[in-house]
Amino acid sequence: MRDLLRPLIVAPMAGGPTTSSLVLAAAEAGALGFLAAGYRTPEAVEDDLRSLRGVPHGLNIFVPMAAPADASPLERYRRLLQAEADRYGVDLPPLRLDDDDHFAAKVELAIAYATPLVSFTFGVPGLAVTRALRDAGCSVLVTVTSADEARRALAAEPNALIAQAGAAGGHASTTSPFGYRGTSAAAEVLAAVRAVTDIPVIAAGGVASAADVRALLDVGAAAVQCGTCFLLADEAGTRPAQRAAMLSGDFRETVVTRAFTGQPARGLRNRFTDAYSAAAPIGYPAVHHLTAPIRAAAAQRGDPGALNLWAGTGFAAARPAPVADLIGALRD
């Protein structure tokens, strides 16, 4: 496993930022990129896997979450969001609770393409899945946010864990969204996870400089996974509205919110997070589907007020450049 890792990992970033060009350029620059299978069709994922044959890379897959036993908080949130639907002139879809994001098909693709590294977020895959991947020559990584989650993940016999801090941009992989506050730093979560296992642990969250990377490697990280600092990379598919928001200087802080998707996620604080974070229920992916038309309409208008502008605490250090330059700067 350790021989597959490189010190710097370009995180999987579903929803647009990750492209096969980003992953390829990361590999060429001596880092390791992960494709993000989340939200995509198996066909689109397969196109990318095909184009990266022979290139060191990983694939990230969302583990399906159980549907909530009681849908009434989701129905209440749907009623609350009607004001936003009216504002953007869109219809709110009926609640959709049963989306597994093509989990089985994506695992099958990783097996068929013997993808060197396969990481999971949002939960722990079953042992049959991880064993099938390992039999196909894939190394398996599971993302965790605490020592407890690490202990549970070890049951799947992963080759490595990703210790994701609360500082991280995008969704938290936590399986305990009720108590999740997202206040932890990368070094803290790394130490907590390393205390329960001897397998390699990758640190993630809030990393914005070469000094941050070095500090985490020095305290035992097997590699450091960065997302936010690559959001403005030339090869990233980050939406124009998010690029503009990040470069505008208008957004001063990030918050952890369930308002957009029902799962805690860190993003730039905006009108929508201010208005709905307090009321938003737990319930991924139902809330993700519910807010999708609002977010799409906001993106089309170039209105960052109702966009999920995922970013970690280090967002101010992100800058536009070829990914090779950004990787170089994190190594200096």
Ligand X SMILES: Cc1cc2nc3c(=O)[nH]c(=O)nc-3n(C[C@H](O)[C@H](O)[C@H](O)COP(=O)(O)O)c2cc1C
Residues that bind ligand X (CB under 6 A): 11-15, 17, 36, 38, 60, 121, 143, 164, 167-170, 204-207, 225-228, 310-312, 314
| Exposed/middle/buried for residue 49 (C-beta within 10 Å: 0-12, 13-18, 19+) | buried
* Residues in Cβ contact with 113 at an 8 Å cutoff, skipping those fewer than 6 apart: 46, 49, 50, 53
The Cα 16–Cα 39 span in angstroms is: 10
Tell the smallest beta-carbon distance from residue 187 to ligand X (Å). 13
Helix (H) or strand (E) holding 79: helix 72-80
Neighbour-count burial for 136-172, b at 16+ CB within 10 Å, e otherwise: bebbbbbbbbbbebbeebbebebbbbbbbbbbbbbbb
Place of tokens 């990481």: 119
Q: Which is nearer to ligand X, 60 or 291 (CB)?
A: 60
Would you say 63 or 92 has its CB closer to ligand X? Answer: 63
Q: Shortest Cβ distance from residue 118 to ligand X (Å)?
A: 11
Q: Which two tokens stand for residue 124?
A: 């722990």
Q: How far is the CB of 12 from ligand X (least distance, A)?
A: 4
Asked if 311 contacts 99 with a C-beta cutoff of 8 angstroms, the reply is: no
Which lies closer to ligand X via its Cβ, residue 46 or residue 73?
46
- Residue 294 three-state SS: helix
Please, what is the minimum distance in Å from the beta carbon of residue 227 to ligand X? Answer: 2
Nearer to ligand X, 31 or 92 (CB): 31
Supply the Cα-derived Rg of the chain in whole angstroms.
19
Q: Which is nearer to ligand X, 8 or 92 (CB)?
A: 8
Shortest Å distance, C-beta 15 to ligand X? 6
Give least dist CB 8 to ligand X, A: 11
Question: ∠ CA(272), CA(275), CA(278), 5° rounding?
Answer: 115
Q: For residues 262 and 314, which CB has a smaller minimum distance to ligand X in the complex?
A: 314
Q: Closer to ligand X at the Cβ: 229 or 280?
A: 229
* Nearby residues of 240 by Cβ (< 8 Å), 6 or more positions away: 302
Residue 73 in tokens? 């908080």
Q: How far is the CB of 145 from ligand X (least distance, A)?
A: 9
Cβ proximity to ligand X: between 71 and 321 the closer is: 321
Q: Are strands 265-268 and 160-164 parallel, antiparallel or unpaired?
A: unpaired
Residue 163 CB, nearest distance to ligand X (Å)?
9
